[in-house]
Amino acid sequence: MRVERNTEAGRALGLVAAALISILSLILIFAGWSATLFSVFAQAVPSAKATNYYELKPGADRDGIDKYYMGRQIAHVMGHQAADWLERPTREQEEHTEEMIGLLNLKPGEDVADIGAGTGYISWRMAKKVAPGKVYAVEIQQEMLDLLGANMKERGITNIVQTLGTITDPKLPTNAIDLIIMVDVYHEFDHPYEMTEAMVRSLKVGGRLVFVEFRKEDPHVPIKEVHKMSEAQVKKEMSIFPLAHAQTFTNLPWQHVIVFTKNPSLRTNMRTGADLGPGPTVRPAGSPTPARVKIGNTSANSIPANPQPK
Ligand SMILES: C[S@@+](CC[C@H](N)C(=O)[O-])C[C@H]1O[C@@H](n2cnc3c(N)ncnc32)[C@H](O)[C@@H]1O
């Protein structure tokens, strides 16, 4: 009798154990599916909203790529092979760079970022003004950063942080930067939506986002059309972000300087809305690695030299 009872108890225990294992397996399978679905969804949501802004069609201008953003054809990236053009001896006379930097009224101790820094022509001038603050010199072409590094060494500038970004992410710290400048750069962004979103996130509240672009309104500015931008177009593209237009300087020979400030209380279309904390940890699907960046229909280490004068 005792043997039979023990056998029955054993069977019952076995059944309970089997049921528990089945339930556990079901929970694990469900959790796995949920995680997969969540990660697919998480990747789909950010890119879905951003890609709505992009239109892929043959470019009307051969100096631009086959991609449009808010009605504007995006320009080809200027390859590092044309870096000499950035350091040309006539540049100060043509662009009044010192005057432009003076307009920014930079203060010692501020941390600033120079996106698309190229050879560092703008970076080192700002570095002198903000020391002991830092200049994050952001580039997607390692070759440009190499040239920039050599220039800084030659000048003894030590407060520049070389930063290799990607076409969607300048890799800047969050809520940490006083001013971000793009000199002759924004119109080349392959992903202007993602770049602006990331730049806004990295600005402190009240921090400034500065565009220095060749004036499209002026047919006498001797620069290729897709490498120019009108003030109206810049304002249109910034209108979906928590940015307030602060001022536009128009006194430089060829460029305008369009300044916005970060104002998180503005209603926006930004993915994180008014919440300007850390952004999504999931990068849009297919983000390139920094080493061999895909830019439009070309890649960074095969970009043709493309200086911009007409
Ligand atoms: C015309 S150059 C201007 C360089 C510099 N700002 C100057 O005025 O001397 C444009 C630079 O922007 C860089 N660039 C383009 N897209 C970028 C992005 N998404 N992030 C960082 N740099 C970018 C290019 O690699 C190129 O070196």
CATH of the domain at 124: 3.40.50.150
pLDDT at 53: 84
pLDDT at 266: 83
* pLDDT of residue 257 exceeding 70: yes
**Helices 192-202 and 231-238, axial angle in degrees (round to 10):** 70
Minimal-distance CA residue to ligand 1 atom 10? 185
* pLDDT of residue 157 exceeding 70: yes
Does any ligand 1 atom lie closer than 6 A to the CB of residue 144?
yes
CB of 302 closer than 8 Å to CB of 77: no
Question: What percent of the chain clears pLDDT 70, i.e. is strictly above it?
Answer: 71
Minimal-distance CA residue to ligand 1 atom 19? 167
Does any ligand 1 atom lie closer than 6 A to the CB of residue 122?
yes
Q: Is 88 among the domain residues?
A: yes
Q: What is the mean pLDDT of residues 279-300?
A: 34
d(Cα 50, Cα 46) in Å, to the nearest integer? 6
Continuous H helices in the chain: 2-51, 83-86, 91-95, 97-103, 123-130, 142-155, 192-202, 231-238
Does any ligand 1 atom lie closer than 6 A to the CB of residue 86?
yes
Pocket test for ligand 1, best of 69, 77, 151 (most atoms within 8 A of CB): 77
pLDDT (tens digit, 9 = 90+) per residue, 83-142?
A: 999 999 999 999 999 999 999 999 999 999 999 999 999 999 999 999 999 999 999 999
- Domains identified in the chain, total number: 1
d(Cα 175, Cα 164) in Å, to the nearest integer? 19
Q: What is the mean pLDDT of residues 56-76?
A: 97
And the tokens for 117? 């820094």
Q: What is the mean pLDDT of residues 261-271?
A: 81
Region of residue 157 (phi > 0: left; psi between -120 and 50: alpha; otherwise: beta) = beta
Q: CA-CA-CA-CA torsion for 193, 258, 137, 96, nearest 10 degrees?
A: 150
- Identify the residue with better confidence: 76 or 19: 76
pLDDT band at 148 (very low <50, low <70, confident <90, very high): very high
- Identify the residue with better confidence: 193 or 295: 193
pLDDT (tens digit, 9 = 90+) per residue, 182-236?
A: 999 999 999 999 999 999 999 999 999 999 999 999 999 999 999 999 999 999 9
> At a CB cut-off of 8 Å and minimum separation 6, what does 90 contact?
none
CB of 196 closer than 8 Å to CB of 241: yes
Distance 79 CA to ligand 1 centre (A): 9
pLDDT at 190: 97
pLDDT at 19: 56
DSSP assignment of 12-40? HHHHHHHHHHHHHHHHHHHHHHHHHHHHH
Q: ∠ CA(80), CA(70), CA(83), 5° rounding? A: 10
Minimal-distance CA residue to ligand 1 atom 8? 183
Does any ligand 1 atom lie closer than 6 A to the CB of residue 138?
yes
Q: CA-CA-CA-CA torsion for 290, 292, 294, 299, nearest 10 degrees?
A: 140
Does any ligand 1 atom lie closer than 6 A to the CB of residue 296?
no
Minimal-distance CA residue to ligand 1 atom 22? 116
User: For residue 284, what is the DSSP state?
Assistant: P
Q: Is 3 among the domain residues?
A: no
> Which amino acid does the sequence have at 215?
R
Q: Is 208 among the domain residues?
A: yes
Around Cβ 119, how many Cβ atoms within 10 Å? 25
Q: Is 29 among the domain residues?
A: no
Distance 94 CA to ligand 1 centre (A): 19
Q: Is 41 among the domain residues?
A: no
Global pTM value:
0.78
Q: Is 206 among the domain residues?
A: yes
pLDDT at 271: 63
pLDDT at 217: 98
* pLDDT of residue 17 exceeding 80: no
Q: Is 274 among the domain residues?
A: yes
Does any ligand 1 atom lie closer than 6 A to the CB of residue 183?
yes
Domain that holds residue 225: 50-301
- Identify the residue with better confidence: 25 or 42: 25
Minimal-distance CA residue to ligand 1 atom 24? 116
Does any ligand 1 atom lie closer than 6 A to the CB of residue 95?
no
Distance 93 CA to ligand 1 centre (A): 21
Q: Is 37 among the domain residues?
A: no
